[in-house]
Structure 1
Amino acid sequence: MFLSLREQAERAMADALSAMGLPTDDLGIEEPPEDVEAVLASSVAFRLAGEAGRAPGEIAAEIAETIDPGEYGYVERVEARGPYVNVLASETYYADTLEAARDEGYGRLEPTGERVVVEHTSANPTGPVHVGRARNPIIGDAIVRLLDFAGHDVEAHYYVNDAGRQMAVFTWAYETFDESELPEPEREKADYELVRYYRAGNAFLEEGPEAEVEAAEAEIASIMQGLESGDEATYERVGRVVEGVLSGMRESLSRLPAEFDEFVKETRFIRDGSTEELVERLKELDEAVYEEEAWQLDLSERGIEKNLVFLRSDGTSLYPTRDLAHHEWKLENFDRAVTVLGEDHGLQAQQVRTTLELLGNDTEPLDQVLYSYVNLPEGKMSTRAGTGVDLDDLLDEAVERAREEVESRLDTRIRDDELDEDDVERIARQVGIGAVRYDVVSKQPSKAITFEWERALNFEAQSAPYVQYVHARTCGILSEADVEPGTVDPAVLETAEERDLLEVIARFPATIEEAAEDRQPHQVATYTREFAETFNAFYRECQVLSEDRELSEARLALVAASRHTIANALSVLGVEAPDSM
């Protein structure tokens, strides 16, 4: 409803300005301050004051007088307040909002027909997912959910680096070391079992006898050459390691959850010939140079000081080369391609975009979402050295801490057998993992995060449990009423708290639209906090069930609308909405 009201307000402003002979290119529509009784406001009078040669307040007053609210269905009246033009909504607006939000799919936008691929996570399959990079699957999965809810046809892709030196080292190490030479795995899980070989291999290459290291390097080079030449036996050797590690990584990621429609392998673009064809096109560019025994692109005239190396002297391609072929494939098969990358990949993203343009591609459909890494208070983490905190560890601790918090808050329901141990476990998982996801996704991606338990699991502050509790409360109220409200008259919802809640509910679809356009799911998290505060104010001040049947049914309808709104907002963020807490 808010989207329709905003459209009508913009049309009313444009019509008024046209009638006054003033330009309509910037209408200045915005949300008013909290102390203003209006749904929308316009600051356009400030912009027009100089051109019109009149005071902003005078222009605002004339705009308000020119608009006939009767011509715009959701506009009740338009008022000038100083230099601002305020738009107040009609009862029809509130009635339609309440009715629309009683649908379980409330907030989902109409299909756009646009095919979007979102590539995220894409961590090298060299071991368990660690906390430092956990922001990628959390943000990426939230973007997938957000774009889907905004009406796009979305696919989630994981780009698998199965052709680089790391995988050649891993394969050599797996085939070289005996399990008896390795320490016990930290978990009985494929990625934890296999990462021991990778760590042992790296340690040997750094510290082993020179002659044996040279022999190992020769075998590693042979594996890389085998991949580049399309040798099927080599693909099978590397594939055993890659698939083993990926199976464990998928299991960890599914706990978040972060699911993928396709795992796209680098070797695909070697085997289908697109990498080789791309290399020939790159060599023909004016920017192509052969320096330091490698083919490179000199991108300095494009403002990029570091060259992009795309072919080694031994004829093997590099990750950026294959990624360029991958991006051309995405541009050919999708209307828009979103890639979630760590901040340390900013240069690479710039090189890829620039090179694609040099190759004649339209890069407008490409979006990159760059994020800073997640740190724990004790500092940054590293998988290669085996000293990091793995995602599994974080999620285990999240569930355990949440269980302790939930048990400490349990009321007599547990003694009445209304909540058994399975319920406690379910709530602990929903709250614990929800707290991790919410704490990560609620921050603007470009800002660094230091994850702190006290903040993430705070039931009283702006956190996942704080918002989840609102959903649980709506479920409790509706369960207690044990009746579905019929057709209601929203006009009986007269208090400021009721109207504020209706207005916040009405803005949910607009929040989805704006966050999807910006590829910024943290805007939805901000909305959920505002929603929770508004609902809690309503709950404190308005008794839902009373002897006034008409008022009780209207308030129950408002609670049902609130339940659907907050459940869908949390779902977009990938956070479960518990029915009880």
Structure 2
Amino acid sequence: MFLALRTEVEDALREALSTLELPTDDLGIEEPPDDVDSVLASSVAFRLAGELGVAPPQAAADVADEIDTDELTYVSRVETQGPYLNFLPSEAYFAETLANGTDDDYGTLPNRDESVVVEHTSANPTGPVHVGRARNPIIGDAVANVLDAAGYDVDRHYYVNDAGRQMAVFTWAYETFDEDDLETEPERDRIEYDLVRYYRKGNEFLEEGPESEVEAAEAEIDAIMQGLEEGDEATYERVSEVVDQVLGGMKECLARLPAEFDEFVKETRFMFDGSTDDVVSRIQDLEESVYEEDAWQLELDEYGIDKNLVFLRSDGTSLYPTRDLAHHEWKFDNYDRAVTVLGEDHKLQAEQLRQTLELLGNDTDPLRQVLYSYVNLPEGKMSTRRGTGVDLDDLLDEAIDRAREEVETRLDDRIRDDDLDEADVERIAHQVGIGAVRYDIVAKQPTKAITFEWDRALDFEAQSAPYVQYVHARCCGILEEAGIDLETGTSEVETDVDASLLETPEERDLLETIARFPSVIDAAADDLEPHQVATYTREFAERFNAFYRECPVLADDVDPDLREARLALVAAARHTIANALSVLGVAAPRSM
């Protein structure tokens, strides 16, 4: 309803300004401070004071006089506070918020008939997913979720680097060495942990092996790369045997978050269909193209990029950026918009890509690139047995273990619920543990470096995932105590209630917060900033907890009509917080 109210305020302001024969291009609409009763405000009077020849407070009063609230549905009155116009909600605003909030899909915006491809993660298939890259699938998945909720037709893509030197080395090592040649055991019983040992062995051999054997190995690695460049199917099958197995294990890891994909797009696709060759030919025709230092390069200093884009080696093999150019032109042909989530170390490549696409005649307005800083872990908190770095699996296992310990401690500190068995404890540990990791990472602005800290992420009392998840569990507990069957997934809460009975400040604050949820989705999608949704959930939790403290729902002395209205409010709160957490990829437990 907040979006509907905002539209109504915009229309009313434009009409009032037109009547006063004033410009309507900048309405100055903003959300007021928490200590103001209105849900929207306008600072337009600052701009208009000079044109009207009066002080800003008088300009605000003049505009307010031109707004007829009798013609508005969701605004009850307009008040001025100095130079500000404050728009107060009507009873219809609260009633429709309550009715809409009880819908299962509340917060989902109408279909925009616009397709978006979100590419994220795209880690090289050379081994397990490292924790330093964990921010990519978490942010990428949340970006895709918020776009989906905002009404876009979203495809989630993982771009697979299956044609670079790393995969040629991996393929050669896999075919060359036997299990007996490997000095270590797999760190986990999953395929990528098994096969990464061949990759490590291969790199070690290339660095330390006998010179003549290394030369022979390099010749074979070059042959693999040439075979892929020439579209040789036999070479592709050799490489794919390694790539597909490692990727299969990586998918299992990412599914734990969960982060799932509609398509895994291999870069060899754009070599075999001729589009990479086409890109190379077109770049060579550009006046910025030069051949120097045994490679074809594109000079971009004229466009503020001080490093050349190398797009073709002297042996005729293309590079990752060249194939990615073809990949992006394919995106432009098949989608209305393209979003790519990248680590901060890819900022230069992102700038080179965009500029080269423009030089090739592409409109890059549909392309948005979300850059993020990496996740660090506190010194000494986690380490792997082999000293090869911390894998995402390690982080998730640790999160589940710590969450299980916290849940069991909390159960021991109170009378155990007979309905909460060991399976429930394990379910809650997974939901809370993995939810804590996702929430703590996605809640920060992507460009800010973060250090993941367990005490903060798993704090049930602070503004963390468990703190917000507990709100959903509390809603479920109230509804179940009222006899509502949540197992079926349908709500039996009475929705034809008198919303005007919800008149305390805590009830109204919660209703207003529920009303804003669709607008939060809309803004987060426009800005590609899912952390805005996380910020909203923390505010929501505070508002709900205030309501829970001050407004009993099922107490014997509560009037029956008020009881039904408050139950409807709890149901609306439950749907809102569940859907907000879902956008963030965080589970909404029914019990905690």
Q: TM-score range by the shorter chain?
A: over 0.9
- Give me the whole-angstrom Cα distance separating, in 2, the residues matched to 1:488 and 1:413: 36
2:146 is matched with which residue?
Answer: 146
Alignment of 1:505-516 (within 5 A): 505-516=514-525
- Give me the whole-angstrom Cα distance separating, in 1, the residues matched to 2:380 and 2:447: 18
- Give me the whole-angstrom Cα distance separating, in 2, the residues matched to 1:68 and 1:469: 43
1:489 is matched with which residue?
Answer: 498
Which string of whole-angstrom CA distances, capped at 9 and with x for unpartnered residues, describes residues 231-274 of structure 1?
Answer: 11111111111011001100000000000000000100011111
1:39 is matched with which residue?
Answer: 39
- Give me the whole-angstrom Cα distance separating, in 2, the residues matched to 1:126 and 1:53: 69
Alignment of 1:372-411 (within 5 A): 372-378=373-379, 387-410=388-411
Alignment of 1:193-204 (within 5 A): 193-204=194-205
Q: 1:413: Cα distance to partner?
A: 8.1
Q: Partner of 1:106: helix, strand, or coil?
A: coil
1:560 pairs with 2:555: no
2:562 to 532, 542, 551: 551
1:137 is matched with which residue?
Answer: 137
Which string of whole-angstrom CA distances, capped at 9 and with x for unpartnered residues, describes residues 510-534 of structure 1?
Answer: 0000000111100000000000000
- Give me the whole-angstrom Cα distance separating, in 2, the residues matched to 1:339 and 1:290: 30
Q: 1:330: Cα distance to partner?
A: 0.3
Q: Partner of 1:112: helix, strand, or coil?
A: coil
Alignment of 1:161-172 (within 5 A): 161-172=161-172
- Give me the whole-angstrom Cα distance separating, in 1, the residues matched to 2:379 and 2:285: 50
Q: 1:15: Cα distance to partner?
A: 1.1
Q: 1:207: Cα distance to partner?
A: 1.6
- Give me the whole-angstrom Cα distance separating, in 1, the residues matched to 2:374 and 2:381: 9
Q: 1:12: Cα distance to partner?
A: 1.0
Percentage of identical aligned residues: 75
Q: 1:538: Cα distance to partner?
A: 0.4
Q: Is the 8 A contact 2:192 2:247 kept in 1?
A: yes
2:57 is matched with which residue?
Answer: 57
1:422 is matched with which residue?
Answer: 423
Which string of whole-angstrom CA distances, capped at 9 and with x for unpartnered residues, describes residues 41-69 of structure 1?
Answer: 10111122233321111111111121110
Residue type of the alignment partner of 1:14: R
- Give me the whole-angstrom Cα distance separating, in 2, the residues matched to 1:8 and 1:515: 21
1:239 pairs with 2:240: yes
Q: TM-score normalised to the size of structure 1?
A: 0.98
Which string of whole-angstrom CA distances, capped at 9 and with x for unpartnered residues, describes residues 429-470 of structure 1?
Answer: 000000000000000000001000011000000100000000
Q: 1:212: Cα distance to partner?
A: 1.6
Q: 1:417: Cα distance to partner?
A: 2.2
- Give me the whole-angstrom Cα distance separating, in 1, the residues matched to 2:44 and 2:554: 44
Residue type of the alignment partner of 2:139: I
1:330 is matched with which residue?
Answer: 331
Structure 1 unaligned regions, length at least 5: none
Residue type of the alignment partner of 1:320: P
1:70 pairs with 2:81: no
- Give me the whole-angstrom Cα distance separating, in 2, the residues matched to 1:284 and 1:353: 18
- Give me the whole-angstrom Cα distance separating, in 2, the residues matched to 1:353 and 1:5: 38
2:582 is matched with which residue?
Answer: 571
1:298 is matched with which residue?
Answer: 299
Q: 1:415: Cα distance to partner?
A: 4.0
Q: Partner of 1:410: helix, strand, or coil?
A: helix
Residue type of the alignment partner of 2:353: V
1:227 pairs with 2:236: no
Q: 1:486: Cα distance to partner?
A: 4.2
1:580 is matched with which residue?
Answer: 591
Q: 1:379: Cα distance to partner?
A: 8.7
Q: Is the 8 A contact 1:414 1:420 kept in 2?
A: no
Q: 1:99: Cα distance to partner?
A: 0.2
Q: 1:17: Cα distance to partner?
A: 1.3
Alignment of 1:511-522 (within 5 A): 511-522=520-531
Q: Partner of 1:562: helix, strand, or coil?
A: helix
Which string of whole-angstrom CA distances, capped at 9 and with x for unpartnered residues, describes residues 281-333 of structure 1?
Answer: 11101111000111110111111110000100000000000000000000000
Q: Partner of 1:500: helix, strand, or coil?
A: helix
Q: Partner of 1:473: helix, strand, or coil?
A: helix
- Give me the whole-angstrom Cα distance separating, in 1, the residues matched to 2:387 and 2:338: 33
Q: Partner of 1:124: helix, strand, or coil?
A: coil
- Give me the whole-angstrom Cα distance separating, in 2, the residues matched to 1:218 and 1:489: 79
2:543 is matched with which residue?
Answer: 534
Q: 1:411: Cα distance to partner?
A: 6.1
1:473 is matched with which residue?
Answer: 474
Q: Is the 8 A contact 2:99 2:495 kept in 1?
A: no
1:214 is matched with which residue?
Answer: 215
Which string of whole-angstrom CA distances, capped at 9 and with x for unpartnered residues, describes residues 140-173 of structure 1?
Answer: 0111111111111100000000000000011111
Change (3 A) 1:39 1:102: same
Q: 1:334: Cα distance to partner?
A: 0.3
Residue type of the alignment partner of 1:157: H
- Give me the whole-angstrom Cα distance separating, in 1, the residues matched to 2:317 and 2:35: 65
RMSD of aligned residue pairs (Cα, Å):
1.5
- Give me the whole-angstrom Cα distance separating, in 1, the residues matched to 2:511 and 2:193: 50
Q: Is the 8 A contact 1:132 1:380 kept in 2?
A: no
2:454 is matched with which residue?
Answer: 453
Structure 2 unaligned regions, length at least 5: 485-492
Q: TM-score normalised to the size of structure 2?
A: 0.96
2:103 is matched with which residue?
Answer: 103
Q: 1:181: Cα distance to partner?
A: 1.8
- Give me the whole-angstrom Cα distance separating, in 1, the residues matched to 2:203 and 2:449: 30
Residue type of the alignment partner of 2:269: R
Residue type of the alignment partner of 2:504: T
2:174 is matched with which residue?
Answer: 174
Q: 1:378: Cα distance to partner?
A: 2.1
Residue type of the alignment partner of 2:585: G
Q: Partner of 2:132: helix, strand, or coil?
A: helix
1:501 is matched with which residue?
Answer: 510
Q: Is the 8 A contact 2:102 2:495 kept in 1?
A: no
- Give me the whole-angstrom Cα distance separating, in 1, the residues matched to 2:214 and 2:339: 41
Change (3 A) 1:277 1:133: same
Q: Is the 8 A contact 1:131 1:381 kept in 2?
A: no
Which string of whole-angstrom CA distances, capped at 9 and with x for unpartnered residues, describes residues 169-200 of structure 1?
Answer: 11111111111121100001000000001111
Which string of whole-angstrom CA distances, capped at 9 and with x for unpartnered residues, describes residues 396-442 of structure 1?
Answer: 01000000000111168874521000000000000000000000000
- Give me the whole-angstrom Cα distance separating, in 2, the residues matched to 1:32 and 1:21: 26
Alignment of 1:251-270 (within 5 A): 251-270=252-271
